[in-house]
Amino acid sequence: MSEGAAQPVERQLPTEEARDLFALVRELIQREIAPHAAAEEEAGHFPRELFTLLSASGLLGLPYDSEFGGGDQPYEVYLQVLEELAAARLTVGLGVSVHSLACHGLAGYGTKEQQTEHLPDMLGGGLLGAYCLSEPSSGSDAASLRTKAVREGDDWVITGTKAWITHGGIADFYTVLARTGGEGARGVTAFLVPGDAAGLGAAAPEKKMGMKGSPTAQLHFDGVRVPDARRIGDEGQGFAIALSALDSGRLGIAACAIGVAQAALTEALRYATERRQFGRPIADFQGLRFMLADMATQIEAGRALYLAAARLRDAGRPFSKEAAMAKLLCTDTAMKVTTDAVQVLGGYGYTADFPVERYMREAKVLQIVEGTNQIQRMVIARHLAGPEAR
Ligand SMILES: Cc1cc2nc3c(=O)[nH]c(=O)nc-3n(C[C@H](O)[C@H](O)[C@H](O)COP(=O)(O)OP(=O)(O)OC[C@H]3O[C@@H](n4cnc5c(N)ncnc54)[C@H](O)[C@@H]3O)c2cc1C
């Protein structure tokens, strides 16, 4: 069993360019990410300088158009990069995924002028993004958001509070969903707000169970003024933009979840081959061998599902239902596999001397963000019920 333990995952990469990209990613992980992950997570340190390096290396714009500084990579490749980054450190993998989510609106719905002006800096110019949909009183029921944007001449004035914002307080730009019309989804518009806008402030980061290096904070918009040139898409189109971003973002969360699960399995395998009880490695006992076999099988199933959804997206076909399924299966898998990894390590698994307890704490948040897994089931069920039910 030992020979498989530390092997890198064999990747399904469509091009030579993608294989080169993976060599770069693995080198960056080994040199810049993995050695600091445990200590920086413990200290709650966000590696802002690492994100500048990732941006300079082309890793913050991978699935976007090279005309605007992106990497032109299919989602199939981008997601596997996310998986490896998240396996090394979830704060980094999820951070890249959230940044990508924040770029989605402008890249998909912005005007050519907006894209030319902003996207190169967002995709490869060192800027870090955040996505602001949730509010203190609207999480799952996101369409009931209350943050308001009021038109004043050529400007919009934004007032309200956003909650749970990943990179809140440190991002260079925020994609913000605000109400410009009546109640419900049709009254929402998207804006690109600079991080240093007057009237924009952040609360102290939340004290979280895991992913402590990733700042999550409330953002207060106190009459933040942005020109109409920073409105993304049409008035009233914001919620559709937000949901479209989430379809793609959920695939990112799925890939991150499989990364965390893979890291937990790798550690469990390593430990099980070294730890001896009753005169032999614990990996010899069928009770653990079957558990490890189940963990590996669940990971492969999750990886296959997120890749299948990614290939639909790459082919320009609908993938919303499959993205919800991938998010649901992969994050539930991460929770199960990381919990089992703690079990494989016994008492040692419950201590901070080994990384599996951190993986278990990290897996939990993935069942919650970008639509809880209850919401994913609602999305899937709506698709099963047919177009009228959506
Ligand atoms: C670490 C972290 C980072 C985050 N980052 C961001 C970010 O960058 N940007 C952003 O906009 N948001 C972000 N979020 C917010 C996240 O998307 C929300 O927490 C999530 O959507 C759930 O909303 P809520 O917490 O208000 O829970 P609620 O919506 O209040 O849900 C509470 C419980 O009720 C269940 N529930 C609610 N409605 C239903 C229903 N109809 N049927 C069945 N069950 C239901 C939920 O599944 C959940 O179990 C982040 C959250 C966390 C924890």
Q: What pLDDT, in 10s, does the model give residues 124-134?
A: 999 999 999 99
Amino acid residing at 305? L
Closest atom of ligand 1 to CA, residue 162: 11
Residues 6+ apart with CB under 8 A from 368: none
Token couple for 36: 């600091």
d(CA 206, CA 198): 23
pLDDT at 5: 38
Which of 373, 300, 303, 292 minimizes the C-alpha distance to 340? 292
Same domain, 221 and 252: no
Domain carrying residue 107: 16-124
Same domain, 279 and 197: no
pLDDT at 390: 64
pLDDT < 70 stretches in the chain: 1-7, 388-390
324, 376 in Cβ contact below 8 A?
A: yes
Same domain, 104 and 148: no
Asked if the structure places residue 248 within a domain, the reply is: yes
Number of domains in the chain: 3
Same domain, 107 and 186: no
Backbone angles phi, psi at 336, to 5 degrees: -65, -45
Which of 165, 24, 29 minimizes the C-alpha distance to 90? 29
Which of 284, 174, 257, 285 minimizes the C-alpha distance to 220? 174
- Residue 59: which CATH number? 1.10.540.10
**Stated length of the chain:** 390
Asked if the structure places residue 390 within a domain, the reply is: no
User: What letter would DSSP give residue 371?
Assistant: S
pLDDT at 323: 98
Asked if the structure places residue 94 within a domain, the reply is: yes
Token couple for 210: 């895991």
- Residue 145: which CATH number? 2.40.110.10
pLDDT at 3: 35
Q: What is the mean pLDDT of the chain?
A: 96
* Residue 370 is among the residues annotated as catalytic for this protein: yes
Say which of 183, 267, 370, 388 is annotated catalytic: 370
Q: Which residues pair with 150 in a beta bridge?
A: 157
Boundary (domain end) residue, out of 216, 238, 260: 238
Match 């047919």 to its residue by tokens: 386
- Residue 280: which CATH number? 1.20.140.10
Count of beta carbons in the 10 Å neighbourhood of residue 42: 12
Amino acid residing at 57? S
Same domain, 289 and 321: yes
- Which residue, judged by its Cα, is nearest atom 37 of ligand 1? 140
Boundary (domain end) residue, out of 238, 264, 292: 238
CA 170 to chain centre: 17
Asked if the structure places residue 309 within a domain, the reply is: yes
Same domain, 184 and 301: no
- How many A from CA of 145 to the centre of ligand 1? 13
Same domain, 232 and 248: no
Choose the residue to mutate in 164, 175, 328, 375 for probing ligand 1, maximizing ligand atoms within 8 Å of C-beta. Answer: 164
- How many A from CA of 372 to the centre of ligand 1? 6
Same domain, 95 and 203: no
Boundary (domain end) residue, out of 238, 264, 299: 238
Same domain, 309 and 345: yes
- How many A from CA of 163 to the centre of ligand 1? 10
Same domain, 374 and 279: yes
- How many A from CA of 165 to the centre of ligand 1? 12
Same domain, 247 and 377: yes
Choose the residue to mutate in 90, 133, 134 for probing ligand 1, maximizing ligand atoms within 8 Å of C-beta. Answer: 134
Q: Which residues pair with 148 in a beta bridge?
A: 159, 179
